Amino acid sequence: MQFVVPFAAERPKTRLADVLGQAERRGFARAMLRDVLDAIRGAGHEPQVLATAPVSVAAPVTVDERPLSEAVNARIEATVAERGSPLGVAMADLALATPAAVGRLCSSTGGVVIAPGRGGGTNALVVTEPSFRVDYHGISFRDHVRAADEAGAAVARVDSMRLATDVDEPPDLVEVLLHADGRACDWLREAGFELAVQDGRATVRRA
Amino acid sequence: MQFVVPFAAERPKTRLADVLGQAERRGFARAMLRDVLDAIRGAGHEPQVLATAPVSVAAPVTVDERPLSEAVNARIEATVAERGSPLGVAMADLALATPAAVGRLCSSTGGVVIAPGRGGGTNALVVTEPSFRVDYHGISFRDHVRAADEAGAAVARVDSMRLATDVDEPPDLVEVLLHADGRACDWLREAGFELAVQDGRATVRRA
């Protein structure tokens, strides 16, 4: 199956600005992107990056400067509506993604398969319903379930902590250090991050 | 399989004090407990509540005033070490738990099966290794993996957003309203809670 991985190449991960400088955020974001591409390939699928600017990774890259939803919908139209092929969409910051988790997404049955993100987001999708379109604004998980219902498509939800964890904010780094073992986790360790306990809760500190 | 569900009967959910009064926190905590018991029974297993004080629910209740880890370890000893039976342990605030999620926990193979919680916690376990003991302090997921390794037990990790979501803080209520459909979700709706979007992110507001 073809997968698109949207990637904000220019100013990624602004909500990590308290703990990472701008160049670091770019490096860390690219490490996560590569982990996501590996997980998709490991599950036997073909990832393509849909980037806002050129980016150097070992996968085909399409540059599309349009807003996220518009760019993804253009790919759904070209792949699902026009060619009749299913399309996977996975966010580029799913540093905990594994081939097994992507495999569960792809083996679920439905016109629209959704892996919700924490906080109402939509972290990964498989679309086979040709009339379905995405809208990532607001509580997109709820909106995508409604849109699939309105399209008459069966909706499947994938219950995966790995796919639910998009890495946006400092507390998410705890999850990367605990549960990931790819480039993003290596990147954090090499940058001096390690787990710590503060007031009884897990956190990260930088050596 | 027998399951124990530890429950802090007296002062539950203190981290929800900003949005719920004390009596409300007790009511909401009991609604979540009942959802967890339903999910375990729905998966074909037998839940028992391990409470710090008497609580009225449709399940056997054992009152044990000892600290959490000590009380759970006493049950592991009695069930796994002495009788040779497996024991499940599930936290009482897993309001998103479903029979399917509990089923995945129970069908995983390993001397210790762990469903991690967000932030390094251990939200659910199945223990068949007789020498394994819990310690819920600190980053318990990491410590439990190590303890299982040291006991020579195979460790299985269950990748479930539903089991990873323990409801402790106000942002967790978003997950309940979005993904649960049991008593806890009903309780929140009846108390006037609904989803809202603030600064582009999902949150809850109270009517």
| B26-44 mean pLDDT | 98
E-strand spans in A29-103? 46-51, 61-63, 87-90
- Minimal Cβ distance to B160: which of A118, A161, A179: A161
B164-182 per-position pLDDT tens digit: 999 999 999 999 999 999 9
Which single residue is written with the structure tokens 């949150």?
B203
Q: Would the pLDDT of A168 be above 90? A: yes
pTM over 0.90: yes
Q: Is the pLDDT of residue B200 over 90?
A: no
Question: How far off is chain A from B49, nearest CA to CA, in Å?
Answer: 25
For A28-67, the pLDDT digits (tens) are 999 999 999 999 999 999 999 999 999 999 999 999 999 9
Establish, for the pair of chains A and B, how many residue pairs have beta carbons separated by less than 8 Å. Answer: 80
What pLDDT band is residue A199 in, cutting at 50, 70 and 90? confident
A123 contacts on B by Cβ (under 8 Å): none
Q: Is the pLDDT of residue A11 over 90?
A: no
In whole angstroms, what is the distance from residue B204 CA to residue B207 CA?
10
Whether the pLDDT of residue A69 is over 90: the answer is yes
Give the chain A residue whose CA is nearest to the CA of B197: A138
User: What pLDDT digit, counting tens, does each position of B144-164 carry?
Assistant: 999 999 999 999 999 999 999
Share of chain A above pLDDT 90, in %: 97
Round to whole Å and give the CA distance between A147 and B160: 25
What integer pLDDT is reported at residue B152 of this predicted model? 97
| CB-closest option in B137, B165, B202 to A120 | B202
Q: Where are the alpha helices (DSSP H) in chain A?
A: 22-42, 68-76, 99-107, 140-150, 161-164, 170-179, 183-190
Whether residue A116 and residue B179 make contact (CB cut-off 8 A), yes or no, is yes
Average pLDDT in the A145-158 region? 97
Q: Is A174 on the interface with B (CB under 8 A)?
A: yes
Stretch A116-144: mean pLDDT: 97
Task: DSSP letter for A170, please.
Answer: H
Task: Respond yes or no on whether ipTM tops 0.90.
Answer: yes
Average pLDDT over residues A103-110: 97
The per-residue pLDDT for A25 is: 97
pLDDT at A78 over 90: yes
- Which chain B positions have a beta carbon within 8 Å of A179's beta carbon? 116, 157
Q: How much is the mean pLDDT over chain A?
A: 97
B160 lies within 8 A of chain A by CB: yes
* pLDDT on residue A161: 98
* Confidence category of residue B207, pLDDT binned at 50, 70, 90: confident
Q: Are A128 and A80 in contact (CB under 8 A)?
A: yes
- Collect all residues of chain B within an 8 Å Cβ-Cβ radius of residue A166: none
